[in-house]
Amino acid sequence: MQPTPSTGEQRSWAKATGFLVALYLVGLALIAGIVLVAGGKDGGGGSAGGSGGGTTIPVSLTEFKIDGQLMAPPGAVTLEVTNDGTMQHDLTIADLGKTTGMLQPGETVTLDLGPLDAGKYGVVCTVAGHEGSGMKATLEVAEGMEGMDHSGSSSSSSQAAAGGQDSTSGEGEMDYAKMDEDMIASFKAFPAKTKGVGNQPLDPTLVLPDGTKQFNLTAKITDWEVEPGKVVKAWTYNGMVPAPRIRLNVGDTAEFVIKNELPVNTDVHWHGITVPFDQDGVAPITQDPIKPGETFTYRFTVNKPEIGMYHPHLHGQMGLPNGMFGEIQVGDTPVVSNRTVSGVQIPADVKPVQDIPMILNDAGVIGFSLNGKSFPATEPIVVKEGEWVTMTYFNEGFQVHPMHLHQFPQLITAVDGIPLDQPYYADTVLVGPGQRFTVQFQATAKGTWVFHCHILNHAEREDGMFGMVTAVVVQ
């Protein structure tokens, strides 16, 4: 028989038991709170449970579409958003201040929009370049939308993206035969003609008595055909995308007269070019902003070989993706000759027949593009067998781009305009935003060799090739 606890021991046990019960209850409350917070993720202050008695709409995000029956009667609306694509996407309704936040492939979240009045609400993916590539839609709220069947849309898209549907053309299913036809047709259209050519050389307007070269640049919005039939309102210098190509000699003094015909203030930053502080083009730090209707003159002397870019720094998030980017180079493009690199003997008589600026973009109205055009309107590089080519990548976009040239290894000779002491070969060159990579290659085999960004969603979609694709044609 156990001895009976004393009165003092009984009080101690009661206190300990009460403490444990209280601790247990606090733990349950914390767990419940965590569950509620986790379940309420919608990026816009909504709850996972929706609005109760309202309309729930499944929405599917893929490259590059927003799919779903985006219609509902006035009242509470909830979106069940699934990323059925192969890369990150989000769904944002700016007018409502609602967003899912960035979704990983396969992730689903519930976005509670709350009670909505009749009207139309813009829906986009905010990842750079995705809206311009087709990820935009309209949520329509109107009387008479009651009783619509929104079931199954997202799950159908999920199964199709996973390869779970046949090639019939029923609603919500992938039509693989049509995809094949579109892909082949997109190749046959290359190279397509479009209005407008960028990268045209900019000659001095005049040469001043002291030898200064004066150039005129006008910043303005103009129509630009990115691909056949797709005309956008581009932000430009002198009406072209990319902007005019500027070449200077070491020792030149140059003036650039900038006229602003944009609806906002602007400036010009000489990215990668050595200039005095007050000519760096970073308003309002180094200068006053150039107001609409005004002009401003930059003046500097260039004293060494450099490869740079020019673009606005003020409102750059609008100017660059929408077309305001160009090449400026001082001196000759670096060329490697008469040496051995990775066991390959580079001849002493290397004389490139072309020196190509390849300006990359991925956002704004220009979108995924090479030199301001999207496939099939991109320009092929045409050379004869055995010829050498130099090329400089300029990444004016918001994403990295691994540029892959089939068949011909690229000899990287300079990075950001700085010649390399140890050049190296690569068949895929990863170019980050703001970077410049100068390469040379020899066209050693006849054929039409594909040349593209190897993030394949930047080059292919369900209706065929697009964006950052061209070819090297060796005759």
Residue 348 located in a structural domain: yes
User: Residue 29: phi, psi to the nearest 5?
Assistant: -65, -40
Residue 10 located in a structural domain: no
- List C-alpha distances in Å: 448 to 244, 327, 391, 465, 466: 28, 27, 18, 16, 17
The reply to whether 250 and 390 lie within a common domain is yes
Q: In the listed set 132, 160, 188, which residue is the last one of a domain according to the structure?
A: 160
Render each residue's pLDDT in the chain as its tens digit; 475 residues: 444 444 444 444 444 444 444 444 444 444 444 333 333 334 443 333 333 468 999 999 988 889 999 999 999 999 999 998 877 899 999 999 999 999 988 899 999 999 999 999 999 999 877 887 789 999 999 988 766 666 654 444 433 333 344 444 444 567 889 999 999 999 999 999 999 999 999 999 999 999 999 999 999 999 999 999 999 999 999 999 999 999 999 999 999 999 999 999 999 999 999 999 999 999 999 999 999 999 999 999 999 999 999 999 999 999 999 999 999 999 999 999 999 999 999 999 999 999 999 999 999 999 999 999 999 999 999 999 999 999 999 999 999 999 999 999 999 999 999 999 999 999 999 999 999 999 999 999 999 999 999 999 999 988 899 999 999 999 9
Q: pLDDT at position 165, please?
A: 40
The reply to whether 230 and 149 lie within a common domain is no
The reply to whether 39 and 155 lie within a common domain is yes
The reply to whether 144 and 217 lie within a common domain is no
The reply to whether 385 and 295 lie within a common domain is yes
Rounded to two decimals, the pTM is: 0.74
What's 125-150 look like in SS3?
A: CCCCCCCCCCCEEEEEECCCCCCCCC
User: Which range marks the domain in which residue 332 is found?
Assistant: 206-474
In angstroms, the CA 397 to CA 455 distance is 14
Q: pLDDT at position 450, please?
A: 96
In angstroms, the CA 214 to CA 334 distance is 26
The reply to whether 281 and 347 lie within a common domain is yes
The reply to whether 259 and 120 lie within a common domain is no
Half-sphere exposure of residue 446: CA atoms within 13 angstroms, side-chain side: 1
C-alpha of 14 from chain center = 65
User: What order of strands is seen across the sheet that includes strand 92-93?
Assistant: 71-72, 136-141, 119-124, 92-93, 98-99
Residue 187 located in a structural domain: no
The reply to whether 152 and 298 lie within a common domain is no
Q: In the listed set 160, 176, 191, which residue is the last one of a domain according to the structure?
A: 160
Q: pLDDT at position 161, please?
A: 38
The reply to whether 27 and 125 lie within a common domain is yes
Number of domains within the chain:
2
Residue 2 located in a structural domain: no
Q: pLDDT at position 172, please?
A: 52
Residue 268 located in a structural domain: yes
**CATH number, residue 261:** 2.60.40.420
The reply to whether 145 and 260 lie within a common domain is no
Residue 93 located in a structural domain: yes
Q: pLDDT at position 350, please?
A: 96
The reply to whether 287 and 432 lie within a common domain is yes
Q: In the listed set 99, 131, 160, which residue is the last one of a domain according to the structure?
A: 160
Residue 469 located in a structural domain: yes
Residue 382 located in a structural domain: yes
The reply to whether 365 and 440 lie within a common domain is yes
